[in-house]
Amino acid sequence: MLQPAHEYYAVLQRDYATRIRQLVPKYDELVRCTVDALRQRSPRTVLDIGSGDGSMSQVVLEALPEVRLTAVDASPAMSAEAGRQLERFGKRATVVRADILHFEPEEPFDAVFSNLVLHNIPFPEKRQLLGTIAGRLRDGGLFLWGDLIRHPDPVVQRRLVSERRAFALSEGCPEDIVEWNFRKESGDDYPFTTVKAAEALKRAGFARADLVWQHDTFALFLAEAH
Ligand SMILES: C[S@@+](CC[C@H](N)C(=O)[O-])C[C@H]1O[C@@H](n2cnc3c(N)ncnc32)[C@H](O)[C@@H]1O
C-alpha cells in the first residue's frame, strides 16, 4: 500500500466506526448486503481483503458460526486493532498484516470479500489481483467486492461527491478529514466505473459478475469463480 494511504488509514482508525459512516452514507446497508450474500452460500473458509479494524470480519464471524476467516490488512494500526477485536473468536479468526498484493495463502477459500479497499490499488495491479482472487477460490466460490466507484459522467460524479461531502460535514466529520478523504479519492485512488469493474471481473476469469447494490459513489459486485 502506498504511503499516503498508510497515513490516512492510521488517522481514520482512531474513530473508525464513526468516520466510515460519515464518509460512506449507506455503509451499514453495504455491509448487510455482503453478509446476506455470504450467509446464503454457507462458506466454511472466508478471506477478508483489507479488513480494517476487523469490525466487518466480526459481523461475518457472528452471522456464520461455522466460518473460519482470514483477515488481511496492510495498515499496522488497523491490523493491530483487528487482532484485538477478533481475539475472542480464537482459532476461527486469523489476522495477517500484509499487502494483499504480496499475500500467499496456503489453501484456497470458499469465499472472498473486500469492502472499500481495492480503490487504493492502481488499475494494472488491481486487474492482476482480481485474477489472483479468482484463482484462489474453490470452484463455484464467491467474491463479494464492495468499493468506491466513479460515475462515467463528470457532471454527475461532481454532484455525487458534493452531496457526500455535505453529508459528512452535516454528520460531524471534522473538516480536515473530509478534505483529506476527498483529496485522496480524486488524486490517490483508482476507482473503476461499474462497467469497467464488471469487465475487469470477467477478464479476470470469473464466470459471473453482477452488480448487486449501488448507492452514490459505492457499489457491490457479486462474482462467481468457475
Ligand atoms: C476504508 S478501510 C475498509 C475496512 C473494512 N473493509 C470495512 O469495510 O470497514 C480500507 C482498508 O484497506 C486497507 N488496504 C488498503 N490497501 C491495501 C492493500 N494493498 N493490502 C491490504 N490492505 C489494504 C487499509 O489499510 C484499510 O484498513
Please give the Cα distance from 31 to 94 (Å, whole number): 20
Distance from residue 203's CA to the centre of ligand 1 (Å)? 24
User: Is the CB of 117 within 6 Å of ligand 1?
Assistant: yes
Domain ranges of the chain: 27-150+191-224
Question: Residue type at 217?
Answer: T
Q: How many CB atoms are located within 10 Å of the residue 199 CB?
A: 14
pTM of this structure: 0.97
H or E segment and range at residue 223: strand 218-224
Q: Residue 68 pLDDT more than 70? A: yes
From the CA of 66, how far away is ligand 1's center (Å)? 25
CATH number given to 27-150+191-224? 3.40.50.150
**Whether the predicted pLDDT of 1 surpasses 70:** no
Query: What pLDDT score was predicted for residue 226?
Result: 80
Question: Does residue 77 line the site of ligand 1, with CB under 6 A?
Answer: no
CA distance linking residue 134 with residue 225, whole number of Å:
6
pLDDT tens-digit profile of 196-206?
A: 999 999 999 99
